[in-house]
Amino acid sequence: MKVLIACEFSGTVRDAFIHRGHDAMSCDILPTEKPGPHYQGDVRDVLYSGWDLVIAHPPCTHLASSGARWFKDKKAEQQYAIDFFKLFTTLSCKVCIENPIGIMSTQYRKPDQIIQPWQFGHGETKATCLWLFGLPILRPTRIVEGRQARVHRMPPFQSRCLDMLNF
């Protein structure tokens, strides 16, 4: 498959798909942290390039519930973030949009699934919403104990990207 990992500079998800034999590229306004196929710039430049699958991690700064107390002061930035998120909902290929719990449940629609790292072998808790288009929900692959709150670390979805290949 031809896979675009949007809003990813780590290369983690991209490399997981490449390792499985897919033609994958990451895209972000930041340079990639790992060598590999990466477009540094606006995702809109490459978004309509015939992808079979797009996995999007739109910035959550103005969308996540954790920042709700600042929403009233950042209406323009928040509207831009909402519009950017919705851009990924218009694609004609398979799409997964990942974001924490936030306003997209009311500004767009409820997510198809909410996952936790502890469902996939990591002992932390961090609810992560998935909006899926043409993809099945993820099934837990390794439920673990020892749950700890996960704050300001890598999104849990990045460590479970290989589960997307099991559809």
**Run of H or E residues at 26:** strand 23-28
The predicted pLDDT at position 159 comes to 46
Give yes or no for residue 7 having a pLDDT over 50. Answer: yes
Give yes or no for residue 14 having a pLDDT over 80. Answer: yes
When divided into structural domains, the chain yields a total of 1
**What are 21-58's pLDDT values in tens digits?**
999 999 999 999 999 999 999 999 999 999 999 999 99
Residue 124 belongs to domain spanning = 2-165
> CA 32 to CA 129: how far, in whole Å?
24
| CATH, residue 143 | 3.40.50.150
**What are 60-89's pLDDT values in tens digits?**
988 888 766 666 778 889 999 999 999 999
Own/partner pairs, 33-42, CB within 8 angstroms, 24+ separation:
33/9, 34/10, 35/11, 36/11, 38/9, 38/11, 38/14
Is the pTM above the cut of 0.75? yes
- Angle at alpha carbon of residue 87, lines to 9 and 57, rounded to 5°: 30
CA 151 to chain centre: 16
Average pLDDT over residues 152-165: 50
